[in-house]
Amino acid sequence: MAVERTLMLIKPDAVKKGVEGKIIAHVQEKGFKLVALKKLRLTKEQAQQFYYVHKERPFFEELCEFMSSGPIVAMVWEGENAIEEIRKIMGATNPEEAEEGTLRKLYGTNIGENAVHGSDSKESAQFEIPFFFSRLEIVE
């Protein structure tokens, strides 16, 4: 397996709950290396640009409103098979269906406010990481 990098976002609902540190610690305890981190607030337009792949879906506007409703924490994680493994750590999109001990089961509220976002493929990671971080902001 190859060492990969993936983007993970702590969404506004989890930031509002104050569980950023718990989420970061959870991923670190699984053996992944945090190589970039920042807290920011997206505008609605930035959220629309980031989630452009969902623009034809019925939840697009609601998602963009939510993601611009408060601060988020953006991170880049590195490790073996990081994209797939961190998605397992996050759990199913719907917290009600997520396995016990996953981030969404622990901190998600519902399918729309599910605490975290993670890249779902190498292609999405290649778009998502530079959306939030320049090469200078990622520690080698």
Q: Which residues are annotated as a binding site for ATP?
A: 11, 59, 87, 93, 104, 114
Q: Which residues on neighbouring strands pair with residue 109, listed in sequence order?
A: none
Please say if 54 is a catalytic residue: no
Please tell me which residue in 73, 83, 117, 128 is annotated as part of the active site.
117
Structure token pair of residue 28: 């670190």
Query: 85, 11 in Cβ contact below 8 A?
Result: no
Query: 67, 60 in Cβ contact below 8 A?
Result: no
Q: How many helices (H) and strands (E) does the chain have?
A: 7, 4
- Residues designated catalytic: 117
